[in-house]
Structure 1
Amino acid sequence: MGVTVEDVMQLSVFKNAKVLTEIHAIPVEWISVIETPVENFVRNHEFVLSTGIGCGEDIAALEQYVHDVIRSEASALAFATGRHIFKVPDRIIQLAEDNDFVLIEVPWEVRFGDILQEVFRLIALEKETEQQHAEAVRQELINCVLNGKGLQEITTILFNNTRIPIAISDHNKQIRANQQFDRYFIDVLNGKREEEYQLVTPSAFSDHPLSHYIEKYQIKDESCYQLTILSNYKKQGYLLFKPEEDEQLTWVVLTILEHALTACALYFVKENAIEMTEIRLKDNFLLDLAKTSIEIDKSLLSKAQLLGYDLEKSYICLVGDIRFKKAIDDHIASDDHSVKSSSMHSRNYYIQKEVTHAGDVLKRDTMTTFDEGEVIVYLEADAVTYSKTANQFLDLVERRLNELLAGITISWGISCPKEKDYTFHQSYEEAKAALKIGRQQHEDGDRTFFSDTRMNRLLMALSHEKEIENIVEETLEKLIEYDDKRQTDLIHTFIVYNKYNSNVSQTARALNLHRQSLLHRLRNIEQLTGLSLLDADDLFLLELSVRLWMLKKVEE
């Protein structure tokens, strides 16, 4: 509690002093000599010395002086009697008693300088003791974290040294540790009780720097306090405490709470580092699994089990290409690297969360990682119902993601299930190939199953033949040059024309063109390629060449 009036009165310099009212264990933080007028020269918990000069013969002035000292919330008032005041009047003593205030008479022969010296020495000694105690608590808190102990141990240390109920929550206000903190307040703050509460910044009740950062929860007629736990300017959690009265929040208690903030921040940083290390280990493991052909042996199965994965189950691979609408992309591109990095981590966090949630709903294991704008998911699925499972899974993921991340679209490629000789790398390659083909043929946000890409894969295999490559180049060379030079899109015009089985009216409507404009484009296509769109063989050659050329573009 620090130095009290009782402690001061035990000093030898006060052996001949006379206490006129009852002594209380009131703190003494300073001592000064103050004569009238008091004004704002007296601080809270200050021990005041006075000769009563100017008031000795004026009882009303003396009464006003004592009243002003009491109102300033001083700890005590000691009059030097024998010259200006020979005896404190009964009326003044009664005033002090009525206000539960300590009033003292000191013989005139006792020098104020001696009193000041002794009291300052006592306060300094107590401050040194408090600082040593606070430093010992600081070391105990830091060692608690460094030795691998948790937040509950931190609250125990705090309660043992402050006797104030303490709780620690994370940044989501979920209580992580509690030491005799009122459960009612916790339930209200977590929304488990339908009580209204208000968070306010109280007026500073101490000159300790920490007091300016304390926030106050007001719930009906009761209140508790909180301090924010920060690390690198990032909010990690909250320290909640509920003193019975504000007087408990002394300088030394606030210093201990300040040290507790440092210990809590260190704990959360350590916890985050462990979590990030686990995430990196999982990411690296899954990326190796996807991108390299690894034999599934006992060693790999054991390593996977340590990371929480069961590789003996049957999985399909889903590769998603993550994109935002152009306006959002432009906004992100205009920001600095740190903002883009933060945005990416936040995006990945939400995707990971929804993938896990969808897996839990379907009671399917999932394994997820990210790589250069792609999300790679291994989803537990059997060979018979894998397509239905994949669609149900993606429906769940995308429905919730669209609510959380406005403007996001993910195009998916989905592999086939493997019954025997299964390799995760092969499954990834299938999903990746399906994604590439799907992005070339469809709009953003579509899903392409590898099993539905047989024709495209056949064409892709043909496109690598040198002679076929030459035929495609010869057929489309002038058409491609014309489109590049004139900024036209005759190839797209042909694709739509072919899609509608050479129906001019339907094609014109689909392209939003006048019929004559479309016919003009079709004549240009025939002139540039030397092929007739009315000849079945020529039409087939042109269609095959366009498809092979577009597949080649996807591969590049």
Structure 2
Amino acid sequence: MALDSRSSVEINPGMGVPLDRILGLPIFSQSRVLAGSNGLGRMVTGVNIMEVPDIVNWVKPGQLLVTTGFAIRDNKEAQETLIPSLVQRGLAGICIKTRRYLVEVPPSMLYLADALDFPLVELPPDIGFADLIHDVLSAILQEQSAYLLQMLDAHSALMRIMIEGGGLQKIADTLATLVENTVCIVDLINDRGVYTCVDWQEAEVEALLTRVQEQLHPGEGMFLSQEDRKALVLEERTIGYFTMPLLVASECYGYICILETRRPLADSDIRILERLSVVAALEMARERSLREVEQRYANEFLNHLLSGRIEDEKLEIEHARKFGWDLTKNYVVALVWSAPPLKNRGKHLYNQEIRNRVLRELPAVMLAKGVQCLTGLRGEYLVVLVAMEEQGLNPRQVNELAKQKLRYAQEYLGWVFKGWQIRIGLGRFYPGIKGLQQSYQEAKQALRLGENIPAYQGLIAFNDLGIYRFIYARDRDQEVQNYLQETLGKLLEYDREKNTELIRTLQVFFQHHGNLKKVSEALFTHYNTILYRLERIKEISGFDLDSPEDRFNLEVALKLLSGCNK
């Protein structure tokens, strides 16, 4: 093999072999690393021979430079500038055959090689450059052949996944087989995750992944290198890992994490990860599209329930089962209005994803508290149908119970929508499917009122609006009757059945501004009897005369009752 004074040979500059593995070849058995041993991980992609002083003009990144030192043997300045120049050019290292032109490597070169972590290798005098180049290129070619076979296997696996429609678990299984390590895939947009263990117990992978997530700071790019490797210590064992964010149009769909539970990852493994990450991102997008279609149909059905024409409740119940909804139960309607902070106003995809997350998670969160609910979207509102199956409660008690259930949702929403403005409007309870429409209208009115009255910020129930209800009621006469029934209904019924005068006592109580002595005198009744009647009023109606709000509602109700009786 004839070589000129600046011969260079490369196969594929995009693929190489670490220098420490190259030096493990038999031809380097008599060679010594004199300096720069910290740089032995540099990748060798080719070989170049230096026998001219201006060699730096002809070298390429990744090359291993081989020389006898002839061009710099008497030039101290060239000796001192060679190493920094080669480092700047990105070479993998330099091999110097001594004892012919250079008796020994100059100390200045050794110092610079150590300082710059640039490997400097001393070759024995009897080594042939042609043999050295042949063996190095053969090693690189072998590495590239193995890489191409690995890429072919990865491509075939990728095609099978795409053709067969394999999900995330299939992708994780395939990737784990190819890279021979534990693989975790986290799908942020669909709130799911899968993993495949290699030399690791499945029972422990959750703890391992949690530790990784604590240190996770995905980068902006979709390409990794060995510099992206991180490590953590778990149970006295150090485990390296790589994380790749799955970015689609600058939106992070999730990430793939490879944990080195069997062996360190090679550059070829990282390239495989980059290829399969595209398939994983497509699978996540497909899953989200299916979910969005299902949610759109569910929202359309919900809109029908809240404002459409309900003719046959049995048909509606059957239709609801397609979405996993049980409409044989009774529900009360709550509406959630939310607005992102100013810094997030323009992040439409991000904001919508948070709302979609609430749609998915809220039913499970509520169920964990023993509350069943259904969720959907209607315009700008998140609709929450809260199951109300409790028996024997008056409207006031039902309202308080519904608010108590919604406080679980309020706590969760405050955590998810951190920094957002949130208001919840609650309608009154009406049995049956047709009752949802009235409850919905009232929840919407409660929200509108809460927007203007600071005291009603947060969670506001229509039943708590007091006289404001008459302002917004579509049928004011009916609303007056509802109000009277809620406040005085049980007292009126008790007076009729027991022939008592609780309503009359209450009227005189307000006429005399709560002065019990004057009430006793006006009714010609003993003081203790008045006390007893007031206690019975509290027990029967559920209204506390010591509460300013309850007293106001009762007094308004008595005035309305007086007007209705005229």
Which TM class, normalised by the smaller chain length? 0.5 to 0.7
Would you say the 8 A contact 1:413–1:449 is kept in 2? yes
Measured after TM superposition, the shift of residue 413 of structure 1 is 1.4
Q: What is the rounded CA distance, in whole Å, between the counterparts of 1:215 and 1:126 in structure 2?
A: 22
Report the equivalent of 1:320: 335
Matches within 5 A, 1:283-294: 283-290=299-306, 291-294=308-311
Report the equivalent of 2:380: 373
Choose from 380, 392, 398 the match for 1:384: 392
Measured after TM superposition, the shift of residue 231 of structure 1 is 2.0
Measured after TM superposition, the shift of residue 31 of structure 1 is 0.6
Report the equivalent of 2:406: 394
Does residue 177 (structure 1) correspond to residue 195 (structure 2)? The answer is yes
Would you say the 8 A contact 2:95–2:123 is kept in 1? yes
Would you say the 8 A contact 1:317–1:431 is kept in 2? yes
Measured after TM superposition, the shift of residue 369 of structure 1 is 1.5
| Aligned CA distance change for structure 1 residues 461 and 306 (closer, same or farther; 3 Å) | closer
Report the equivalent of 1:446: 460
Q: What is the rounded CA distance, in whole Å, between the counterparts of 1:121 and 1:262 in structure 2?
A: 33
Measured after TM superposition, the shift of residue 278 of structure 1 is 2.8
Measured after TM superposition, the shift of residue 177 of structure 1 is 0.9
| Aligned CA distance change for structure 1 residues 142 and 216 (closer, same or farther; 3 Å) | farther
Report the equivalent of 1:428: 436
**Counterpart of 1:178 in structure 2: which amino acid?**
T
Report the equivalent of 1:408: 422
Report the equivalent of 2:278: 262
Report the equivalent of 1:210: 224
Deviations 1:305-364 (CA, angstroms, capped at 9, x unpaired): 34222223x21231426266xxx79x59x955x63x753653564476445523441x34
Would you say the 8 A contact 1:282–1:307 is kept in 2? yes
Q: What is the rounded CA distance, in whole Å, between the counterparts of 1:22 and 1:295 in structure 2?
A: 90
**Counterpart of 1:412 in structure 2: which amino acid?**
L
Deviations 1:372-398 (CA, angstroms, capped at 9, x unpaired): 233433332235344454232123223
Report the equivalent of 1:49: 66
Does residue 147 (structure 1) correspond to residue 164 (structure 2)? The answer is yes
**Counterpart of 2:436 in structure 1: which amino acid?**
Y
| Aligned CA distance change for structure 1 residues 300 and 427 (closer, same or farther; 3 Å) | closer
Q: What is the rounded CA distance, in whole Å, between the counterparts of 1:104 and 1:244 in structure 2?
A: 40
Would you say the 8 A contact 2:423–2:447 is kept in 1? no
Does residue 310 (structure 1) correspond to residue 326 (structure 2)? The answer is yes
Measured after TM superposition, the shift of residue 225 of structure 1 is 2.7
Q: Larger deviation: 137-146 or 115-124?
A: 115-124
Report the equivalent of 2:185: 168
| Aligned CA distance change for structure 1 residues 105 and 304 (closer, same or farther; 3 Å) | farther
Would you say the 8 A contact 1:315–1:378 is kept in 2? no
Does residue 346 (structure 1) correspond to residue 366 (structure 2)? The answer is no
Report the equivalent of 1:274: 290
Q: Larger deviation: 261-270 or 221-230?
A: 221-230
Measured after TM superposition, the shift of residue 235 of structure 1 is 1.7
Would you say the 8 A contact 1:243–1:249 is kept in 2? no
- Give the 3-state SS of the residue equivalent to 2:287 in structure 1: helix
Q: CA RMSD in A?
A: 5.9
Q: What is the rounded CA distance, in whole Å, between the counterparts of 1:140 and 1:126 in structure 2?
A: 21
Measured after TM superposition, the shift of residue 107 of structure 1 is 7.8
| Aligned CA distance change for structure 1 residues 185 and 349 (closer, same or farther; 3 Å) | closer
- Give the 3-state SS of the residue equivalent to 1:180 in structure 2: coil
TM-score w.r.t. length of structure 2:
0.56
Q: What is the rounded CA distance, in whole Å, between the counterparts of 1:321 and 1:7 in structure 2?
A: 62
Q: What is the rounded CA distance, in whole Å, between the counterparts of 1:462 and 1:168 in structure 2?
A: 55
Q: What is the rounded CA distance, in whole Å, between the counterparts of 1:447 and 1:462 in structure 2?
A: 15
Matches within 5 A, 1:226-237: 226-237=243-254
- Give the 3-state SS of the residue equivalent to 2:427 in structure 1: strand
Q: What is the rounded CA distance, in whole Å, between the counterparts of 2:217 and 2:409 in structure 1?
A: 36
Would you say the 8 A contact 1:413–1:447 is kept in 2? yes
- Give the 3-state SS of the residue equivalent to 2:383 in structure 1: strand
Q: What is the rounded CA distance, in whole Å, between the counterparts of 1:415 and 1:124 in structure 2?
A: 76
Measured after TM superposition, the shift of residue 371 of structure 1 is 0.9
Measured after TM superposition, the shift of residue 259 of structure 1 is 0.7
Report the equivalent of 1:187: 207
Would you say the 8 A contact 1:224–1:241 is kept in 2? yes
Would you say the 8 A contact 2:245–2:252 is kept in 1? yes
Q: What is the rounded CA distance, in whole Å, between the counterparts of 2:21 and 2:384 in structure 1?
A: 71
- Give the 3-state SS of the residue equivalent to 1:292 in structure 2: coil
Q: What is the rounded CA distance, in whole Å, between the counterparts of 2:265 and 2:212 in structure 1?
A: 29
Would you say the 8 A contact 1:31–1:48 is kept in 2? yes
Q: What is the rounded CA distance, in whole Å, between the counterparts of 2:294 and 2:72 in structure 1?
A: 76
| Aligned CA distance change for structure 1 residues 304 and 358 (closer, same or farther; 3 Å) | same
TM-score w.r.t. length of structure 1:
0.57
- Give the 3-state SS of the residue equivalent to 1:49 in structure 2: strand
Q: What is the rounded CA distance, in whole Å, between the counterparts of 2:361 and 2:316 in structure 1?
A: 26
Report the equivalent of 1:520: none
| Aligned CA distance change for structure 1 residues 411 and 352 (closer, same or farther; 3 Å) | farther
Q: What is the rounded CA distance, in whole Å, between the counterparts of 1:436 and 1:241 in structure 2?
A: 49
Would you say the 8 A contact 1:167–1:240 is kept in 2? yes
Would you say the 8 A contact 2:246–2:255 is kept in 1? yes
Would you say the 8 A contact 2:366–2:373 is kept in 1? no
Matches within 5 A, 1:325-340: 331=342, 335=345, 339=348
Q: What is the rounded CA distance, in whole Å, between the counterparts of 1:120 and 1:151 in structure 2?
A: 39
- Give the 3-state SS of the residue equivalent to 1:429 in structure 2: helix
- Give the 3-state SS of the residue equivalent to 2:289 in structure 1: helix
| Aligned CA distance change for structure 1 residues 407 and 450 (closer, same or farther; 3 Å) | closer
**Counterpart of 1:134 in structure 2: which amino acid?**
M
How many residues align? The count is 428
**Counterpart of 1:155 in structure 2: which amino acid?**
A
Would you say the 8 A contact 2:172–2:183 is kept in 1? yes
Would you say the 8 A contact 2:239–2:261 is kept in 1? no
Identity %: 15
Q: What is the rounded CA distance, in whole Å, between the counterparts of 2:254 and 2:47 in structure 1?
A: 40
| Aligned CA distance change for structure 1 residues 2 and 346 (closer, same or farther; 3 Å) | closer
Measured after TM superposition, the shift of residue 151 of structure 1 is 3.2
| Aligned CA distance change for structure 1 residues 217 and 389 (closer, same or farther; 3 Å) | same
Does residue 238 (structure 1) correspond to residue 255 (structure 2)? The answer is yes
- Give the 3-state SS of the residue equivalent to 1:368 in structure 2: strand
Matches within 5 A, 1:17-166: 20-21=30-31, 28-35=44-51, 46-53=63-70, 77=95, 79=97, 85=100, 103=123, 123=140, 127=144, 130-131=147-148, 133-166=150-183
Measured after TM superposition, the shift of residue 257 of structure 1 is 1.9
Q: What is the rounded CA distance, in whole Å, between the counterparts of 1:151 and 1:192 in structure 2?
A: 19
Measured after TM superposition, the shift of residue 368 of structure 1 is 1.7
**Counterpart of 1:401 in structure 2: which amino acid?**
L
- Give the 3-state SS of the residue equivalent to 2:354 in structure 1: helix
Measured after TM superposition, the shift of residue 5 of structure 1 is 9.3
**Counterpart of 2:224 in structure 1: which amino acid?**
L
Measured after TM superposition, the shift of residue 247 of structure 1 is 7.6
